[in-house]
A and B are shown apart, each in its own frame.
Chain A
Amino acid sequence: MKEQDQGRSPDVQDSQDRERFERLVLPYMDAAYNLARWLLRNSHDAEDVAQEALLRALRFIGGFHGEDARAWLLRIVRNTCYTWLEKNRPADLMTEFDEEAHSQTTATPETLAIAAGDRERLAAALGGLSPRFREVLVLREIEGCSYREIAQIISIPIGTVMSSLARARHQLQRSLTGAAQKEAAREL
């Protein structure tokens, strides 16, 4: 993929492609970076991978005839991120959430409210979820995508979007209250 990228200079890109890229895709540069940043959990890698994804988007824009350029771009970003993770950090893709370790059933809404109100703790809990759960939450709650868009980006049925979100939210909640309770126990 890399060689191909370098072999085809952007200079030879059809100017119509560039015009469409600038008009349809560039407004979503934040969305692209945001997803890459959350999937890779590192701003330097996110910048490299987002750039690579944007380059791919420019190359493939001739084949894009849909209406939802954001979902189209985010699908490319997501695929680029997973390819990158497989190659550079395969362990990230193995980390399945340990439900037992995090199952705390005694958390009250108050505990949750306090834990979730702390930005760092919330970001850490979200970052600690498995990539599959992290991405649905980021797309739904931070990027504001609909189920249909998420289904398109991740290539899963709409019904699976709903069940993934349900499980992801459940785990985020447990992770937050679990961390809060551990902290409270340390302070005692």
Chain B
Amino acid sequence: MSCEQTRLILHAYFDSEFDAVRAAEFEGHLQDCAECMAALETQKLLRDAIHRSGLYERAPVSLRRAVRSQFLAGRESITTARFSSWRWLSAAAAVAIVAVAAWFVMPVLRGPSQELTLAAEIVDAHLRSLQAGHLTDVASTDQHTVKPWFDGKVDFAPPVRDFSDQGFPLLGGRLDVLGGRTVAALVYGRRKHYVSVFVQPTNEEDHPPKSGSLRGYAWSHWRNNSMDYWIVSDTSPADLEALRRLLAQ
């Protein structure tokens, strides 16, 4: 292979576009070629910097709202509280399941309240994060790595704690946008499920947890010590409540 050639196909190797045979062949070349090795290191450095910089531009809430209200008017259950019949059934089932959990605070399903609109946004944000590569911007189980990562990215210090011992390992953190505000999002694992915790400062009074479920995702919202918390997951409401208690400690 000429060096000019390898400089080019180095990118395909770097982007994991090679099959195993060609990758092995290229790795053989790397052993002998310090220049290609250095070029590869430079690419890694650039990529790491791009990934660390949080350059992903998420859709603003205004776009989200505009699309929902303009394109999906008449079938969106959350903002208009107009449920189609099967949605009524599934929502009713969700309410029933949650209500059976006696330790759970009754969901607030009183209609198109602001809480429900926000819950829809929270569930959307959680779903977005589950798409490949968006779960965490900083992936670490170490709270001392995750906490400083937020410095300079948000204008408050989110409480970051690991609950591995209690069955909720901290997986990392990321930035997200809710209601037009940048919030800190923490990600916890629960068996094979993920839990998103959204934290932002608030001037409003403390309030006890309100909970509910939407499209199969359980959520809970409370305010404590000038911090506003939303948690959401497809794990059981009981699990969610257990994590909520840990966070509230």
**A residues touching B (Cβ–Cβ < 8 Å)?**
10-11, 13, 15, 18-19, 21-22, 26-30, 32-34, 37-38, 43, 46-47, 50-51, 54-55, 58, 109, 112-113, 116-117, 119, 122-123, 126, 137, 140-144, 146-147, 162-163, 165-166, 169, 172-173
Contacts and interface: CB of A to CB of B under 8 A. Distances in A.
B45 A113 contact: yes
B153 to A, nearest CB: 9
A172 B133 CA distance: 23
Contacts, number: 118
Contacts of B67: 26, 29, 51, 54
Contact of B70 (A10, A119, A163): A10
B66 interface: yes
B59 A30 contact: yes
Contact of A34 (B12, B38, B58, B71): B58
Contacts of B53: 119, 122-123
A142 B60 CA distance: 17
**Which 9 pairs show the lowest CB-CB distances between chains A and B?**
A116-B49, A33-B59, A37-B57, A119-B53, A144-B133, A29-B59, A34-B57, A166-B11, A141-B50
Nearest to B70: A10
A144 B134 CA distance: 10
A20 to B, nearest CB: 12
A163 B17 CA distance: 13
B60 A22 contact: no
Given A22-B72, A33-B59, A169 B46 contact: yes
Given A21-B71, A32-B59, A37-B57, 9 more contacts: A30-B56, A47-B60, A51-B66, A109-B42, A122-B49, A123-B55, A140-B15, A162-B12, A165-B15
